């Protein structure tokens, strides 16, 4: 029960409480009805409304003395027949809309009890309309009609109620206040069991509804501007305006109020108005109308004038018109309080304004729109689409009616395909919650039942991968009119460039561009692009490690799409499918990129990533897009046979880390798993051999394949927190990437294998599985163990043994970094690692504190296997 209002008697409160209880019970019972039940009730209600349309119109006229009998009868018919035509096939019970491909179902939930305020201008039509909507949506309504239209509304509610209950609606579904106390609405609006207030009426009713603190549909007054533009069909426009403005003596709030007419057709338009039974007011008559019709204290039309005949208005105001005059047209010279007739008039009085230009016409329409009509309705007559478009942009109205009557057009379903209604939402401009033509969906809570939908996955690899010894011979297959080899000085010295040149068809012009052996800078990339342009290259051969291949990827991007903005393309993203920045698809030139890797680690020959060094800001920038992936990858071990031991170890551990992180990534799939597992197996077996016996062709070949296969896995599943830690640490202390990865790896496995503090959201993961994945890897490697924990421990031990074999430092401390120096660095390292996108696919979401702990674990180099065992036990 709301707080007691001082002027309400106990009896009145008991009466209002009884109404609410009755409605609440009816609404509760109504929830049991099916769609078929409500449809069975609605149709006979509509027929009852149609049968009684004229009767109710007569009652309304007799009681309110507003409007035109015939038009009120038509309104009653529109409110029933047209609304029924719109709602009859609409689902409003249970599942109302289904989107199987999105796993979404929308389910209707009734509101319950609706308090409905109805206006004096359209009393019975509004009641009929709201009754049909309520039954269609299984709601109960308490009607509170305008006090001066109470009897006709009560009768309309009675007719609808009896027909509804007869066909199965619950008793009490509609009630109507039997008399009117000003405090009734205030009491009911604040009642906890009233779910929604639907207030159609004057500004005070709407304001009260919105001020009550309840959800409300408040639909209030308008002030419809009309632009009659010089290209319009003038005959049609004048007839439409007269039809609309005289309909029910102008009581529909969407009816035309001020017509702004282009200078070129102004006289013609006024003559047409006069020819069709309109009185054109002279200056004195217009001044009289302004003084008499509009209350200077409020700026609103005086209630006594609302819905009266043009002849009666002229008589009262004090000038004479022909007996059959249907409309008074009054010229105005401006808009605002000093031009009273620019306000809403709600009677057959229409203002006209002569505009010297389109610009002026639009401005005056905007002024009228802002003088009490924001959000409501506006009308334009024109055949100029550009002006119609502009009008639609500058006018703030929920309904912008084109080349048709405002009032009947706004009602919907007659002159256009808008939803039929008797409540016009006016948006925030009118203090309303909607700009819609209020309809059944506003009487429903729509629930969304959303099923889990697995994210679409992908598996993308270069079009062609050639591998095994002398795979570079396949270069002969690629015709080219101009080829550029991108490489670095060392590889040129080793003679690798000469080997490649031998495999290129002799007729192909070949040029060599040597770039520094370091992560490419923008300057280096742009020099390469210049060379590509100069030689009009159609083929790029990137011969080198990750840096060279990455440089070639970016050169190709800028060569084919010079408009590509590298800084913008490096923008961060969470999900590559939803990223904000898109890579260019328009290409001015095309060049084939063939990547020949000369290290067995990064796998850049098959990845969609490229790292650029931003010298100006002293940072690395990672570009990622599948369009960067080379067209052809050549994995030929002859180019790695002479790799030094240190580089073999560093790149080999990088490869192993890629595979291990891809295997447990939240984007892992059966496709990436098969590659990741195979790469792990190859790396564990052949890396020690390649390290100890660099000329072992099989070991080199298998490690070269492992790097490429691991890269295929992480290109599609991404990496994890190990890379985030290694990036931050490596950059700060100048430690090679593979070496930095090695320092973190055992600790990260132990971390991922334990129960996460925070799970990573991932629709494709049905359970946390990182520990099981590690156990599966241990099984694949034949490491033994009978439990998951034991297998994880054995995997960590195997990796630690491998690191020992490769003579890696086993702690950050072993690198000679003092505890104090590291302690100073840790806060920054944690921040940088957290900003690194690599961990976004990690199975476990790292907390800042956990990143710090991982750094310290790596510093101490405490055997991770023991730590894992301890954590499990704990």
Q: How far is the CB of 439 from other proteins (least distance, A)?
A: 24
Collapsing DSSP states into helix, strand and coil, what is residue 2? Answer: coil
Q: Tell me which residue of 480, 733, 435 sits closest to 593, measured CA to CA.
A: 480
Pick between residue 168 and residue 694 the one whose CB is nearest to other proteins: 168
* Residue of 5, 29, 304, 419 that binds other proteins (CB under 8 A): 29
CA distances from 56 to 68, 145, 407 (A): 12, 14, 21
Enter the DSSP assignment of 174.
E
**Beta strands 539-544; 592-597: pairing state:** parallel
Distances, alpha carbon 11 to alpha carbons 7, 14, 17, 172, 306, in Å: 11, 5, 10, 20, 36
Q: Which stretch binds other proteins (CB under 8 A): 166-174, 222-230, 500-508, 646-654?
A: 166-174
Contact in structure between 476 and 536 (CB atoms under 8 Å): no
# of chain residues touching other proteins (CB under 8 A): 14
Candidates 7-15, 88-96, 164-172, 600-608: pick the segment binding other proteins (CB under 8 A).
Answer: 164-172
Residues 6+ positions from 492 with CB-CB distance below 8 Å:
512, 514
Cβ-based nearer residue to other proteins, 112 or 145: 112
Q: Do 281 and 287 form a contact (C-beta atoms < 8 A)? A: no
Min dist. Cβ of residue 171 to other proteins (A) = 5
Q: Cβ of residue 24: shortest distance to other proteins, in angstroms? A: 6
∠ CA 37-39-45, rounded to 5° = 110
Selected range binding other proteins among 20-28, 68-76, 85-93, 336-344, rule: CB under 8 A:
20-28
Q: Which residues contact 655 (CB under 8 A, 6 or more apart)?
A: 600, 601, 603, 679, 683, 687, 703, 706, 707, 710, 711
**Considering beta carbons, is residue 28 or 366 the nearer one to other proteins?**
28
- Shortest Cβ distance from residue 195 to other proteins (Å)? 10
* Residue bearing tokens 């002569």: 354
Smallest distance, Å, CB 96 to other proteins?
Answer: 18
Measured from the CB atom, the residue of 32 and 585 that comes closer to other proteins is 32
Q: Find out whether 353 and 364 touch, Cβ atoms under 8 Å.
A: yes
How far, in Å, CA of 363 to CA of 341, rounded?
17
Selected binder of other proteins within 51, 62, 171, 393 (CB under 8 A):
171
Q: What does the per-residue mask of binding to other proteins show for 812-851, with x meaning CB under 8 A?
A: ----------------------------------------
> Which of these ranges, 167-175, 428-436, 486-494, 625-633, lies near other proteins under the rule CB under 8 A?
167-175
Closest CB to other proteins among 170 and 348? Answer: 170
Per CB under 8 A, the segment of 29-37, 704-712, 821-829, 837-845 that binds other proteins is 29-37
- Rounded to the nearest whole angstrom, what is the least distance from the CB of residue 363 to other proteins in the complex? 53
Residue 26 or 53 having the CB closest to other proteins: 26
Q: Toward other proteins, which CB reaches closer, 21 or 476?
A: 21
Q: What is 477-503 written as a DSSP string?
A: G---SSEEEEE-HHHHHHTHHHHHHHH
Contact status, residue 465 vs residue 708, Cβ threshold 8 Å: yes
Backbone angles phi, psi at 624, to 5 degrees: -140, 120
Of the ranges 21-29, 208-216, 585-593, 770-778, which one interacts with other proteins (CB under 8 A)? 21-29
Which range, of 18-26, 179-187, 206-214, 460-468, touches other proteins by CB under 8 A? 18-26
Compute how many other C-beta atoms are within 10 angstroms of the C-beta atom of residue 659: 32
Residue 202 tokens read as: 């004057």
Closest CA to 360 of 378, 334, 384, 381: 334
Token digits for 451?
């099923």
Selected from 7, 9, 31, 235, the binder of other proteins by CB under 8 A is 31
Residue with tokens 């490096």: 570
Find the catalytic residue in 152, 153, 253, 655.
Answer: 253
Min CB(11)–other proteins separation in Å: 22
Say if CB 324 and CB 344 are below 8 A apart.
no
Please, which residue, 165 or 813, has the CB nearer to other proteins?
165
Minimum separation from the CB atom of position 3 to other proteins (A):
19
Pick 26 or 289: Cβ nearer other proteins: 26
Q: Which of residues 492-551 bind other proteins (CB under 8 A)?
A: none
Which of 549, 592, 602 is CA-nearest to residue 708? 602
Angle at the Cα of 249 from the Cα atoms of 246 and 250, rounded to 5 degrees: 75
Nearest approach in angstroms of CB 193 to other proteins is 8
3-state secondary structure of 560: helix
CB of 706 to other proteins, least distance (A): 58
Q: Is 308 helix (H, G, I), strand (E, B) or coil?
A: coil
Map residues 92-121 to x or -, x wherever contact with other proteins holds by CB under 8 A: --------------------x---------
Least Å distance, CB 31 to other proteins, is 6
Task: Give, in degrees to the nearest 5, the angle at Cα 708 between 560 and 458.
Answer: 70
Out of 5, 28, 107, 780, name the contact with other proteins by CB under 8 A: 28
SS3 label, residue 622:
strand
Residues 88, 60: Cα–Cα separation, whole Å: 27
Report the distance separating Cα 370 and Cα 355, nearest Å.
18
Measured from the CB atom, is 31 or 533 closer to other proteins? Answer: 31
In whole angstroms, the minimum distance from the beta carbon of 42 to other proteins comes to 19
Using the contact rule CB under 8 A, the part of the chain among 168-176, 587-595, 603-611, 657-665 near other proteins is 168-176
Per the annotation, the verdict on 131 as an active-site residue is no
Token look-up 């850049």 returns 604
Q: How far is the CB of 23 from other proteins (least distance, A)?
A: 10
- Cα–Cα distance for residue pair 393/377, rounded to 1 Å: 13
Which of 8, 27, 532, 569 lies at the binding interface for other proteins (CB under 8 A)?
Answer: 27
In the window 184-223, what residues touch other proteins (CB under 8 A)? 193
Handedness of CA 225, 230, 236, 238 (dihedral sign): positive
Which of residues 31 and 787 has its CB atom nearest to other proteins in the complex?
Answer: 31
Binding pattern for the stretch 124-163 against other proteins, x by CB under 8 A and - elsewhere: ----------------------------------------
3-state secondary structure string across 351-417: EEEEECCHHHHHHHHHHHHHCCCCEEEEEEECCCHHHHHHHHHHCCEEEEEECCCHHHHHHCCCCCC
Give the x/- contact pattern for other proteins in 41-80, rule: CB under 8 A.
Answer: ----------------------------------------
Of 170 and 843, nearer to other proteins (C-beta) is 170
Binding span for other proteins by CB under 8 A among 22-30, 73-81, 627-635, 692-700: 22-30
Q: Which is closer to other proteins, CB of 171 or CB of 828? A: 171
Q: Does 170 bind other proteins (CB under 8 A)?
A: yes
Euclidean distance between CA atoms 756 and 753, whole angstroms: 8
For other proteins, the binding residues (CB under 8 A) are 22, 24-29, 31-32, 112, 170-172, 193
Residues marked as catalytic: 253
């Amino acid at each position: 029960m709301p707080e007691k209002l001082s002027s309400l008697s106990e009896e009145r409160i008991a009466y209002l409480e009884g109404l609410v209880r009755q409605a609440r019970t009816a609404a509760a019972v109504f929830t049991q009805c099916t769609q078929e039940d409500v449809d069975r009730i609605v149709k006979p209600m509509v027929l009852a409304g149609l049968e009684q349309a004229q009767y109710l119109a007569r009652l309304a006229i007799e009681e309110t003395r507003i409007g035109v009998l015939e038009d009120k009868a038509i309104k009653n018919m529109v409110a029933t027949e047209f609304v029924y035509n719109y709602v009859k096939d609409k689902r409003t019970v249970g599942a109302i809309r289904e989107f199987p491909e999105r796993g979404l179902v929308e389910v209707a939930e009734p509101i319950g009890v609706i308090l409905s305020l109805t206006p004096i201008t359209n009393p019975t039509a509004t009641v009929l309309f709201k009754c049909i909507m309520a039954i269609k949506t299984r709601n109960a309504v308490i009607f509170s009609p305008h006090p001066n239209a109470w009897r006709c509304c009560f009768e309309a509610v009675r007719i609808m109620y009896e027909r509804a209950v007869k066909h199965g609606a619950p008793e009490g579904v509609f009630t109507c206040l039997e008399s009117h106390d000003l405090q009734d609405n205030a009491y009911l609006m604040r009642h906890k069991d009233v779910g929604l207030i639907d207030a159609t009426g004057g500004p005070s009713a709407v304001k009260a509804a919105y001020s009550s603190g309840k959800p409300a549909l408040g639909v209030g007054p308008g002030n419809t501007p009309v632009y009659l533009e010089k290209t319009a069909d003038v005959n049609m426009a004048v007839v439409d305006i007269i039809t609309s403005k005289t309909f029910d003596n102008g009581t529909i709030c969407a009816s035309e109020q001020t017509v702004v007419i282009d200078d070129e057709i102004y006289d013609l338009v006024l003559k047409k108005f006069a020819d069709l039974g309109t009185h054109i007011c002279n200056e004195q008559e217009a001044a009289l109308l302004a003084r008499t019709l509009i209350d200077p204290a409020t700026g609103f039309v005086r209630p006594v004038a609302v819905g009266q005949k043009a002849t009666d208005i002229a008589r009262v105001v004090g000038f004479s018109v022909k007996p059959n005059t249907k409309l008074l047209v009054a010229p105005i010279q401006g808009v605002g309080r000093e031009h009273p007739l620019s306000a809403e008039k709600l009677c057959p009085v229409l203002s006209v304004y002569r505009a010297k230009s389109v610009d002026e016409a639009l401005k005056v329409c905007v002024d009228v729109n802002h003088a009490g009509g924001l959000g409501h309705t506006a009308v334009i007559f024109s055949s100029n689409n550009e002006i119609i478009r502009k009008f639609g942009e500058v006018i703030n109205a929920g309904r912008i009616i084109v080349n048709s009557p405002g009032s009947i057009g706004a009602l919907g379903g007659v002159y256009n395909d808008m939803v039929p209604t008797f409540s016009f939402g006016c948006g925030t401009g009118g203090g309303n919650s909607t700009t819609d033509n209020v309809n059944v969906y506003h009487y429903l809570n729509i629930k969304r039942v959303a099923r889990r939908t697995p994210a679409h996955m992908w598996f993308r690899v270069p079009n062609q991968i050639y591998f095994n010894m002398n795979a570079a011979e396949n270069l002969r297959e690629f015709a080219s009119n101009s080829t550029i080899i991108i490489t670095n000085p060392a590889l040129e010295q080793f003679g690798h460039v000469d080997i490649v040149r031998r495999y290129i068809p002799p007729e192909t012009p070949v040029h060599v561009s040597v770039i520094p052996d370091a992560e490419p800078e923008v300057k280096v990339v742009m020099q390469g692009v210049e060379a590509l342009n100069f030689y009009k290259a159609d083929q790029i051969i990137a011969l080198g490690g990750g840096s060279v291949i990455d440089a070639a990827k970016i050169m190709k991007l800028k060569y084919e799409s010079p408009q590509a903005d590298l800084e913008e393309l490096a923008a961060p993203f969470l999900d590559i499918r939803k990223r904000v920045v898109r890579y260019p698809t328009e290409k001015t030139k095309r060049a084939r990129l063939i990547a020949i890797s000369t290290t067995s680690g990064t796998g850049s020959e098959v990845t969609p990533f490229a790292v650029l060094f931003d010298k100006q800001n002293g940072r690395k920038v990672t570009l990622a897009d599948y369009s960067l992936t080379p067209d052809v990858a050549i994995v030929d071990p002859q180019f790695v046979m002479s790799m030094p031991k240190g580089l073999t170890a560093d790149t080999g551990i990088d490869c192993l880390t890629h595979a291990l992180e891809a295997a447990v990534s939240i984007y892992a799939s059966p496709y990436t798993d098969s590659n990741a597992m195979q790469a792990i197996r190859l790396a564990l077996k052949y890396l020690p051999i390649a390290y100890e016996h660099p000329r072992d062709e099989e070991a080199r070949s298998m490690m070269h394949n492992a790097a490429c296969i691991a890269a295929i896995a992480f290109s599609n599943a991404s990496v994890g927190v190990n890379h985030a830690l290694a990036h931050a640490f490596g950059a700060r202390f100048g430690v090679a990437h593979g070496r930095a990865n090695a320092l973190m790896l055992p600790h990260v496995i132990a971390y991922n294998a334990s129960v996460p503090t925070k799970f990573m959201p991932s629709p494709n993961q049905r359970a946390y599985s990182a520990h099981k994945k590690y156990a599966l890897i241990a099984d694949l490697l034949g490491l033994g163990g009978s439990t998951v924990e034991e297998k994880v421990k054995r995997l960590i031990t195997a990796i630690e043994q491998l690191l020992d074999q490769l003579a890696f430092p086993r702690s950050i401390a072993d690198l000679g970094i003092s505890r104090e120096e590291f302690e100073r660095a840790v806060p920054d390292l944690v921040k940088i690692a957290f900003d690194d996108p690599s961990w976004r696919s990690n199975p476990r979401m790292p907390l800042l504190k956990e990143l710090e702990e991982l750094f310290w674990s790596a510093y101490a180099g405490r055997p991770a296997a023991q730590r894992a065992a301890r954590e499990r036990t704990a």
